[in-house]
């Protein structure tokens, strides 16, 4: 019997019985979740802008240049 796309298997159905995470020491659920959220920034580029930026390095370089040119120290004030 196959599962329809609208039905999902019960959580844990595919977990093998030999995996008992209660016996593991130092395992903390979500231990790094806050640090991950802190570092992760996702920005969606507009369709007309995206072709100019083939990867994240190019985006970061463009933003650094913009910040360098528009920082208060570079304005001569």
In tens, the pLDDT along 15-24 reads 777 777 777 7
Q: What count of Cα atoms within 13 Å lies in the side-chain half-sphere of residue 32?
A: 5
Does residue 1 sit within a domain?
no
Report residue 21: phi and psi, to 5°: -70, -15
**What mean pLDDT comes out for the span 50-76?**
90
Q: Where are the alpha helices (DSSP H) in the chain?
A: 33-39, 56-70
Domain count, the chain: 1
Does residue 64 sit within a domain?
yes
Does residue 7 sit within a domain?
no
State how far the Cα of 47 lies from the Cα of 21, in Å rounded to an integer. Answer: 45
Higher pLDDT, 30 or 1: 30
Q: What is the pLDDT of residue 5?
A: 59
pTM of the model: 0.46
Does residue 51 sit within a domain?
yes
* Mean pLDDT estimate for the chain: 81
**Structural domain boundaries enclosing 44:** 21-75
């Amino acid at each position: 019997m196959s599962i329809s796309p609208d039905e999902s298997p019960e959580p844990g159905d595919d977990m093998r019985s030999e995996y008992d995470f209660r016996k593991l020491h130092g395992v903390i659920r979500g231990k790094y979740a806050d640090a991950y959220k802190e570092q992760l920034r996702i920005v969606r580029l507009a369709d007309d802008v995206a072709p100019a930026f083939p990867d994240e390095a190019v985006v970061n370089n463009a933003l650094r240049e913009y910040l360098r040119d528009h920082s208060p120290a570079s304005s001569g004030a």
